Amino acid sequence: MALRVGVVGGGQLARMMVPAAVELGLDIRVLAEGPDMSASIAATAEGDHRDAATVLAFARDVDVLTFDHEHVPQDVLRALVEAGVAVHPGPDALAVAQDKIVMRTRLTGLGVPVPDWAVVHDADELRAFLGEHGGRAVVKTPRGGYDGKGVRVVDDPSDVDDWFLAVAEAGADQALLVEELVPFTRELAQSVARRPSGEVVAWPLVETVQRDGVCAEVIAPAPGSAGRLADAAESLAVRIAEELGVTGVLAVELFETDDERILVNELAMRPHNTGHWSIDGATTSQFEQHLRAVLDLPLGATGMHAPAAVMVNVLGGPADGDLAGRYPAALAAFPEAKYHFYGKAPRPGRKVGHVTVTGSDVDDVVYRARAAAAHFDD
Amino acid sequence: MALRVGVVGGGQLARMMVPAAVELGLDIRVLAEGPDMSASIAATAEGDHRDAATVLAFARDVDVLTFDHEHVPQDVLRALVEAGVAVHPGPDALAVAQDKIVMRTRLTGLGVPVPDWAVVHDADELRAFLGEHGGRAVVKTPRGGYDGKGVRVVDDPSDVDDWFLAVAEAGADQALLVEELVPFTRELAQSVARRPSGEVVAWPLVETVQRDGVCAEVIAPAPGSAGRLADAAESLAVRIAEELGVTGVLAVELFETDDERILVNELAMRPHNTGHWSIDGATTSQFEQHLRAVLDLPLGATGMHAPAAVMVNVLGGPADGDLAGRYPAALAAFPEAKYHFYGKAPRPGRKVGHVTVTGSDVDDVVYRARAAAAHFDD
C-alpha cells in the first residue's frame, strides 16, 4: 500500500506537494479550509485546522501529518502527538516558527546572529529602543504575520498605537517585537531539509528580492555567494534545523550586511516561496524533499540542472481575472519558461503563480523570467 | 477560470498528466474505469469508455477531451465530434492508431518506410508470405494489442490457428496482419507533439530496449544518433503527424537496420513509455506537452537538462507487493534518481513504475538507472 501523507491546509504549498506525491507514488490527502482551494484536487476533508476533533479525525488514516502553513495551534498539535500521530514538523519546532518573540529568544540563546531586538509592551519601551537605534526600527506582531503583514517600519511609537491597544486588551503576557533596521545590502534565503532520523541536506543559497514586503524574485544560486558566504549560510541553517529539531523543509531568510555578516530575519518550517525555483531547477524540489523528509525517507540530491535558475512571482494577475487568456502569448514568447499557477482567482497583490527559467547566464535568465512573468501583469 | 482538460481512461498515462496539469494551473478531470485506478486523484467520473452516453456526459464540462489510451470506439469519437466536443487526437487520426492494418495501409500510401507486410485471411495466405520471407514472420492481431500482446513470431501457420479461427468467426472483413522479421540492429523511438493550429516540436530520438515485447529501458538521446539518423527520424515523425493530422503527442517506434535504414514499427497517439524520461530529463515533459498541444497552446522547449537521460521500467515489483518497503534502500543508494510509481499493485510483468537518471556519461547513467530500478525487483 502506498505511504499516506496528510497535509493540513489547502493552499498553494499543499498544491505544489501534489505533483511530487503523485510522481513518487504517495497517497496525499489534504484537509482543506473549504471548497475551491488551491489544493482541492487532493482534498479528502474540509474543516477548521484550529479544531482538534477535525484534525484528529483527518489524521486517523495517514502515516504522517504535515502542513501547508504554521497556524495549527499548539493544543491541537499536542493532542495529535498524544493520539500517536506522527506530526512533522513537531509542536516544539513549530512553536518557534509560530511566534516571532519565541523565535528571537531561541535564536539568540543559540548564539545565532540576529538583528538587535527587544520585547516592548508599551510606547515608552518602544521609544527607548528607538532612542538607542537611530530613531527608526521595525515593529512586528509576534503572531499571524506573513508577506509583510504584521510588520511596520516606525519612527515614533504612535505609528503602532493600534497594536499597543490590542496588546493591552489581550492581556498581561502580550507584547510586540521591535528590531533594528538592519543596513543590509541584500536579502538571501537558505533552505535545508531534515528528516527525523537526522539526515540534513541543503539547496544552494539564493538571493531574494522583496517588493512591498512580498517576495518578488529569487535567484539561485545567490550571485557571488560561492565559497565563504554559501558555506556560512548552509552551516547556520543546518545548525538551526538540528538545534530546533525541525523535520521537513526549513527556510531561513537572511540579511547580508555591508560588512559581510549574515543575520537571520525569519524562519519558515515548510516549503517556502524562496524555494519554488527548485521544482524546475534542482534534481529534487523542495516539495518532493519535504514529503521524503516527513516520511523519514532518504533525502534526494539537490544539485541544479543549470548554472542559474530564476523564479519570478506572478502577483495579482490581470484585472479581468483571465489568467488563462494570457497563456498563448506568454507560452509562445518563452517556450523554455516553466509556468506555474495555483488555481487562485487574480486579486491585487495576491500570489497567483510563478515562472521559473534556467540557463547559463544569470542576467539573461533574470531578463527572460521577468519578461515571461510580465505577460500575466495587469 | 482554469482551462479544463478531460482525459478518458484512468491509467498511468492519465496519472502522469496530473502533475503537469496541476503545475500549469489546468483543471484536469479523468473518466476512470472504476475506483482505485492510477489516475484516481483526478477522477471526476467512472464509467465505460465504449459507452457514448457516458463519454458524452463526461465531456460536457471540459474544454477539450483527450485520452489515456486509443481504445475509444470510432462511433463514440464521432458522436463526440458531432456534439461539438473538441477531441484531440481526433477520430481520423485515432483510426490509424487503432488498427494495425489501417496503419500499415496509410503509412505505405504515404511512402513511409515500413517492414514488408500483408493482410492474411487464412493459413494459405500466411504460408505464402512465409515462403517469400525466409520461413519466419511476425503475425499481429490488428486491434487490441499492447506490450507484446497480440504479437507472435511464427514459422508455421498453425502457430496462429486460434487467431484464424477467431477471424473466421468474426466475419468476412476480418483478417490478420503479417510482417517480415526485420533484421534490426536496435529499436528507436521518435516522439513529437503537434497542436491543431499546426506547430510541431520533437524531442531527441531515443533508443529503446525491449524485453519479452515490453519496453524495459530507454536511452535519450539514442547513442550515436546525432546528425543524419536523428534528422531522418525527426523528419519522418513530423511528416506522419502532419499527414495523419495527429494532435497531441505522437510516438513513432522504429527499427534501425544494419544498412542504416529506419522502418516504422508502431505508432502511438498519446504520451508513450519511450517518452517518460522527458519528465525528469527535458525542459518540457511529454505529459505537459500533450496537455499544451490538445489545448492548442504554444508548445514548450524540448531541450535536455543533461547530455544523457536513461529510464528503466519497474516491471512486476516485489512478490510481497510492498513497493513502499523498498523505498528506503533505493532512495538512499541513488539520491539523484527520480522514482515514479503508478499506484498499481505489483504483479508479474506489470509496469508499476519507472526510474530516470540523468548525467553526462551515458554508460554511468545506464548503470545507475538499472541499479536504482533493481531495488524494486522481486
- What CATH code is carried by the domain that includes residue B120? 3.30.1490.20
Residues A202, A274, single domain; the answer is yes
Name the residue facing A2 among B24, B298, B343 (closest C-beta): B343
Cα A369 from Cα A375, distance rounded (Å): 10
Asked whether residue A81 is marked as a ligand-binding residue, the answer is no
Q: Is the peptide bond before B221 cis (omega within 30 degrees of 0)?
A: yes
Residue B147 has pLDDT above 90, yes or no: no
Contact B300 A24 (CB under 8 A): no
Contact B2 A341 (CB under 8 A): yes
Residues B35, B169, single domain; the answer is no
- Residue B111, domain member (yes or no): no
Residue B145 has pLDDT above 70, yes or no: no
- Return all residues near A364 (Cβ < 8 A) that are at least 6 apart: none
Which of A15, A23, A30, A376 to probe by mutation at the B interface, max B CB count within 10 Å? A23
Interior angle at CA A320, CA A318 and CA A325, nearest 5? 70
What residue numbers bound the domain in which A242 lies? 184-374
- Residue B103, domain member (yes or no): no
- Return all residues near B293 (Cβ < 8 A) that are at least 6 apart: B88, B193, B194, B195, B247, B248, B249, B299
Transcribe A240-265 into DSSP letters: HHHHHT--EEEEEEEEEETTS-EEEE
- Residue A107, domain member (yes or no): no
Predicted pLDDT of residue B171? 80
Residues B296, B225, single domain; the answer is yes
Are B344 and B350 within 8 A, CB to CB? yes
Contact B343 A292 (CB under 8 A): no
Average pLDDT of span B326-349: 97
- Inter-chain Cβ pairs, chain A and chain B, closer than 8 A: 115
> What is the pairing mode between strands B117-120 and B64-67?
unpaired
- Set of chain A residues whose Cβ sits within 8 Å of the Cβ of B335: 284, 298-301
Q: Which three cell numbers stand for residue A219?
A: 535567484
Name the residue facing A19 among B23, B298, B306 (closest C-beta): B23
- Residue A38, domain member (yes or no): yes
Number of C-beta neighbours around residue A325 at 10 A: 12
Q: Kindly report the nearest CA distance between residue A147 and chain B, in angstroms.
A: 22
Q: Is B264 left (phi over 0), alpha (psi -120 to 50) or beta?
A: beta
Which of B12, B22, B342 to probe by mutation at the A interface, max A CB count within 10 Å? B22
Which chain B residue shows the shortest CA-CA distance from A18?
B19
pLDDT-derived band at B194 (thresholds 50, 70, 90) equals very high
Assign residue A346 the CATH number of its domain.
3.30.470.20
Contact A335 B298 (CB under 8 A): yes
Which letter, b or e, does each residue of B63-74 get, where b requires 16 or more Cβ atoms within 10 Å of its Cβ?
bbbbbbbbbbbe
Number of structural domains in chain B: 3
- Set of chain A residues whose Cβ sits within 8 Å of the Cβ of B327: 3, 297-298
Question: pLDDT digits over B65-88, tens only?
Answer: 999 999 999 999 999 999 999 999
Are B357 and B334 within 8 A, CB to CB? yes
Examine the predicted complex and report whether its ipTM is higher than 0.90: yes
Residue A3 has pLDDT above 70, yes or no: yes
- Set of chain A residues whose Cβ sits within 8 Å of the Cβ of B338: 23, 283
Predicted pLDDT of residue B277? 98
Residues A50, A166, single domain; the answer is no
Q: Which amino acid is at B54?
A: T
Asked whether residue A182 is marked as a ligand-binding residue, the answer is yes
Which chain B residue shows the shortest CA-CA distance from A339?
B24
Could you give the angle at which helices B100-109 and B91-98 cross, rounded to 10 degrees? Answer: 110
Residues B128, B199, single domain; the answer is no
Assign residue A11 the CATH number of its domain.
3.40.50.20
Residues B189, B174, single domain; the answer is no
Average pLDDT of span A34-54: 97
Cα B138 from Cα A29, distance rounded (Å): 47
Residues B248, B261, single domain; the answer is yes
Predicted pLDDT of residue B259? 85
- Set of chain A residues whose Cβ sits within 8 Å of the Cβ of B284: 335
Contact B2 A305 (CB under 8 A): no
Which chain A residue shows the shortest CA-CA distance from B3?
A324
Q: Kindly report the nearest CA distance between residue A335 and chain B, in angstroms.
A: 4
Cα B307 from Cα B127, distance rounded (Å): 47
Question: pLDDT digits over A190-220, tens only?
Answer: 999 999 999 999 999 999 999 888 899 999 9
Q: Kindly report the nearest CA distance between residue A212 and chain B, in angstroms.
A: 26
- Residue A287, domain member (yes or no): yes
Residues B303, B216, single domain; the answer is yes
Residues B203, B302, single domain; the answer is yes
What is the DSSP-derived secondary structure letter of residue B274? G
- Residue A101, domain member (yes or no): no
Cα A60 from Cα A77, distance rounded (Å): 14
Average pLDDT of span B335-354: 96
Predicted pLDDT of residue A170? 84
Last residue of a domain, one of A148, A180, A212: A180
Taken in order A61, A63, A65, A68, the sign of the CA dihedral is negative
Question: pLDDT digits over A136-174, tens only?
Answer: 999 999 987 666 678 999 999 999 999 999 888 888 788
Cα B346 from Cα A2, distance rounded (Å): 12
Question: Phi and psi dihedrals of B188, rounded to 5?
Answer: -130, 165
Question: pLDDT digits over B203-255, tens only?
Answer: 999 999 998 888 999 999 999 999 999 999 999 999 999 999 999 999 999 99
Q: Which residues of A touch B (CB under 8 A)?
A: 1-3, 15-16, 18-20, 22-25, 27-28, 41-42, 279, 283-284, 292, 297-301, 303, 305-306, 323-324, 327-328, 331-332, 335-336, 338-343, 353
Q: Which three cell numbers stand for residue A319?
A: 484585472
- Set of chain B residues whose Cβ sits within 8 Å of the Cβ of A303: 336
Asked whether residue A313 is marked as a ligand-binding residue, the answer is no
Asked whether residue A8 is marked as a ligand-binding residue, the answer is no
Greatest Cα-to-Cα distance within chain A, rounded to the nearest angstrom: 62
Contact A18 B22 (CB under 8 A): yes
- Residue A215, domain member (yes or no): yes
Residue B351 has pLDDT above 80, yes or no: yes
Residues B169, B198, single domain; the answer is no
Predicted pLDDT of residue B116? 97
Contact B336 A303 (CB under 8 A): yes
Cα A362 from Cα B233, distance rounded (Å): 35
Last residue of a domain, one of A126, A157, A180: A180
Contact A298 B332 (CB under 8 A): yes
- Return all residues near A244 (Cβ < 8 A) that are at least 6 apart: A92, A93, A96, A106, A250
Contact A1 B324 (CB under 8 A): yes
Q: Kindly report the nearest CA distance between residue A195 and chain B, in angstroms.
A: 12
Name the residue facing A292 among B20, B303, B331 (closest C-beta): B331
Residues B218, B367, single domain; the answer is yes
Last residue of a domain, one of A48, A70, A87: A87
Which chain A residue shows the shortest CA-CA distance from B24?
A340
- Residue A110, domain member (yes or no): no
Residues B49, B122, single domain; the answer is no
Number of C-beta neighbours around residue B19 at 10 A: 23
Name the residue facing B3 among A1, A298, A324 (closest C-beta): A324
Q: Is B272 left (phi over 0), alpha (psi -120 to 50) or beta?
A: beta
pLDDT-derived band at B168 (thresholds 50, 70, 90) equals confident
Question: Phi and psi dihedrals of A221, rounded to 5?
Answer: -75, 165
Least confident of A236-240, B149-153, B292-296, B361-365: B149-153
Give start and end residues of each alpha helix (H) in chain A: 12-24, 52-59, 74-82, 91-98, 100-109, 123-132, 161-170, 228-244, 278-281, 286-294, 327-333, 362-374
